[in-house]
């Protein structure tokens, strides 16, 4: 059996490889574009954008969560040491 493929005909693997290469180039271009659009914020701009009251509430909730988690971990460790290990 002879190979009658013309140079324009590609195998599925070649098509997939070409497509992945194009996706990679597109992603690199997209990343470069997003980085070029990044601009630093001044402290005045950040103060205007951030809801300080909401941020403080979220931080308090996260502190409470971590405190409870540490307590649970401590209780778990104590339970394991009481089992005779």
Asked whether the beta carbons of 5 and 13 are under 8 A apart, the reply is no
Exposure b/e, 31-43, CB count within 10 A at least 16 = b: eeeeeeeeeeeee
Given a cut of 80, whether residue 36 has pLDDT beyond it is: no
Task: Mention every residue, 6+ apart, whose C-beta is less than 8 A from residue 18.
Answer: 10
CA dihedral 49, 55, 56, 60 (to 10 degrees): -170
The residue ranking higher by pLDDT, 7 or 65, is 65
Given a cut of 80, whether residue 78 has pLDDT beyond it is: no
Average pLDDT for the chain? 80
pTM of the model: 0.37
Segment 43-60, tens digit of pLDDT: 888 888 889 999 999 999
């Amino acid at each position: 059996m002879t190979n009658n493929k013309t140079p324009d005909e590609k195998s599925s693997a070649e098509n997939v490889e070409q497509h992945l290469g194009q996706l990679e180039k597109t992603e690199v271009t997209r990343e470069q574009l997003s980085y070029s659009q990044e601009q630093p914020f001044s402290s005045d701009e950040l103060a205007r954008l951030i809801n300080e009251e909401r941020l403080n509430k979220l931080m308090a909730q996260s502190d409470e969560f971590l405190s409870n988690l540490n307590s649970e971990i401590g209780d778990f460790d104590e339970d394991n040491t009481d089992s005779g290990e």
